[in-house]
Structure 1
Amino acid sequence: MQISSILKPGAVRVIGAVSSKKRLFQEVAEVAQSAYGLSAQSTVEALLDRESLGPTGVGHGVALPHARLNGLDMVRGVFLILEKPLDFDSVDRQPVDIAFSLFAPEDAGVEHLKALALVSRTLREQSFCTKLRANPDPATLFTILTEAQSVQAA
């Protein structure tokens, strides 16, 4: 699995300030609706339900909100850079400015876990996240994200 198989260029955005985790999830849902035709309301509800099980802020300014949704045929992703970091109840108590959301079919099984592992491994590298944070252009961000694996695999 590669990031390019779960992320479309139209699902990468840079957004200004959001006032809450719920508002961030609404932004994610709007992007998911635009890029993949997902129901914004169902997407927000699924993200909130998953988040109620425990925060998806993994530390170092990164969050990986994810959920399973009806109507999907494969894992899909939405990547956001926040211009103003958001308190996210992360494990290290640091605010989040990178959010990579994943959506999987209800019956995705191991594919969902593979996608989470892939994104988590990719965003664990601090130098990689620094490079993302330094590029406010969605097209450049998409290129950085999708080329990361090519470089790692070489």
Structure 2
Amino acid sequence: MRVQQIPNYELIIKTNSYTGNFERELISYALGTLDNVQMEMGNFHGDYEMDLFWEEEFSSKRKDYYDDYELKDEYLMETYQDVDDWEQMTFYHMTDECNSLAIQLVKPLNEYWEEIVIRRIKKFFDERPCRYSWTLPKDGKLEDLYLIDSNENRIKDYM
């Protein structure tokens, strides 16, 4: 994969498995959204997990996301990338190691969003909410979770 613009920050999710098998499910479960290309495909991997995000967060009596969805508007950084032999705008990518996923950010998440996103990333590996059980391997686990800047300096650890 080729990222044509360097994100300001990246939230790195390192696993013990190839993340290309479950990145859409993880992203949609942890952030409640997918990139525009995936959304346009409709009924795609990640829809079920995205619905779980909204259902669980609404039932927790948090603010109304539809009124002000600042996570996508203010924090996620879309870049033009080569993905699976075609180019698209997206806010995440697999790293060169192929067992890590990077969520591209304009700025570090505030405390409110950090709590939600980090909790849901960890919960994804603990509760395994994937609709299709074959996407996340039975032995798949979260090995590291951290934030880096554009110079790849580790800013914050979440494990």
- TM interval, shorter chain, is 0.3 to 0.5
Which of the pair has more CA radius of gyration? 2
Give TM-score, length-normalised by structure 1: 0.32
Structure showing the higher helix proportion among its residues: 1
